[in-house]
Structures are given as C-alpha cells and as structure tokens.
Amino acid sequence: MRISTIIAGRQFFIERNKDPFVKKKSGGGYYNGANHIVLNENLRDEEELEVLVHESMHAHDMELPEDFVEMLAKDITQALWDYGYRVEHPELRI
Ligand SMILES: [Zn+2]
C-alpha cells in the first residue's frame, strides 16, 4: 500500500517494502528521486518515523548536507515521539 503526500509542493508516495537495498540507506529507507520514499518494513515505529522525516527532508531539498539532515531528523523525531505521535495506519503492518 502506498500513502500519498505533498512535499515541497510535489506529490510523493510513501511505501513500506522488504527491498534489501533499503537497509543500506539511511537506516532503513531511501528517497529515490522519483517522488517515492521507501521504508524498510522491519523498522520499529520510532525508527520508521525518523527515516520518514529524514527522507522527507531529502525530498524537499537534495542539497541539504547529510549531517544536517541526520541531526534535524533525529531531533524532530524525538520531539514528535515524546509528544505522542504514533503510526495510525495498521493496514500497513502486514
Ligand atoms: Zn540521508
């Protein structure tokens, strides 16, 4: 199942996948430059949130430095998690 979203004014699709390539990128996900963010389905919820934030930042601006993306994604994820945000799409949990 794919979720549609808008990042930087463009439509993107977010999808969970077993693709082994995903494990090699950003701890479990990647932005493939084709308006498509892929998340490793084996990630824990908090890890998945961080990867989604991280890859969304890349989708917004591919020129952002990796260390900046990592730091900000980690901090934003921590704030969202501590505030109580959780996955709300159980149908994605196959
Ligand atoms: Zn990255």
Which tens digits make up the pLDDT trace of 12-68? 999 887 765 665 555 677 776 788 888 888 888 899 999 999 999 999 998 999 999
Ligand 1: centre distance to CA 2 (Å): 21
Please count the other Cβ atoms lying within 10 Å of the Cβ belonging to residue 34: 8
Lowest mean pLDDT among 46-50, 73-77, 78-82: 46-50
Ligand 1: centre distance to CA 52 (Å): 10
Closest alpha carbon to 73 in 52, 44, 42, 94: 52
Ligand 1: centre distance to CA 82 (Å): 23
* The pLDDT of residue 36: 87
Torsion of CA 71, 72, 75, 79, to 10 degrees: -170
Domains of the chain listed by start with CATH number: 2-92 (1.10.10)
* The pLDDT of residue 70: 95
Half-sphere exposure of 34 (CA within 13 A, CB side): 3
* The pLDDT of residue 22: 60
Nearest-angstrom CA–CA distance, 87 and 94: 13
